[in-house]
Chains A and B, each alone.
Chain A
């Protein structure tokens, strides 16, 4: 059965800290891994990772995939209060219908 597990489930840090969020997965047929950020509304797309070891970067956010370890990390450096959100990791399921399997999410709170 396809499975996506994120850790930690929640995290509280102070502005300026660096955080690392984890995503582990079990899927029969890996195609890609996606990271989303969800604030008050629906999730916004951050990254799609398909190849191991290649870092994707967008400003203070970066992510990398490790297919050997069946995992990915999302790093946020110099955190700001605006980074407070739920971060979701998702993978297309093995059924190849395009359906995404989501992790439980990591709730990040950045305090001033």
Chain B
């Protein structure tokens, strides 16, 4: 099956620093990549949709200057949380989509901002 990796799996950082999370589709080229955030015991909340070579489309209420997305190739997208604060602590999950709408998720990144 399609495999999506995410790195790092866990990161702890100080308030005010920036954190970059990488998402890679390992054995396929993804039409589109998606970034989600998940709070405890809640469903996934879509943050942005990312297509290779173009600007990401952010969901309402998501600050694009705070959550920078770069989609350099059909197999790599990165999310950078800039000037992170404790309220940004969360579980961030990426997914890679195929043209038939199947989506495969990365294992997620647990971000803790102290």
List the B side residues contacting A31 at CB < 8 Å.
101
Interface residue B8 (Cβ < 8 Å from any Cβ of A): no
Taking a contact as CB atoms closer than 8 A, the residue among B57, B97, B108 that contacts A42 in the complex is B108
Interface size class, chain B:
20 to 34
Taking a contact as CB atoms closer than 8 A, the residue among A43, A97, A102 that contacts B32 in the complex is A97
Cβ-defined contact, A98 with B31, below 8 A: yes
Cβ-defined contact, B49 with A44, below 8 A: no
Cβ-defined contact, B101 with A88, below 8 A: no
CB A94 to nearest CB in B, in angstroms, measures 12
Interface residue B34 (Cβ < 8 Å from any Cβ of A): yes
Residues in chain A within 8 A of chain B (CB atoms): 31-32, 34, 36, 41-45, 48, 88, 90, 92, 97-100, 102-105, 107
Residues in chain B within 8 A of chain A (CB atoms): 1-2, 6, 31-32, 34, 41, 43-44, 46, 49, 57, 93, 95, 97, 100-108
What 17 new A-B contacts, CB under 8 Å, besides A31-B101, A48-B101? Answer: A34-B102, A41-B107, A42-B6, A42-B93, A42-B95, A43-B93, A45-B1, A45-B103, A45-B105, A48-B100, A48-B102, A92-B101, A97-B32, A97-B49, A98-B31, A98-B97, A100-B101
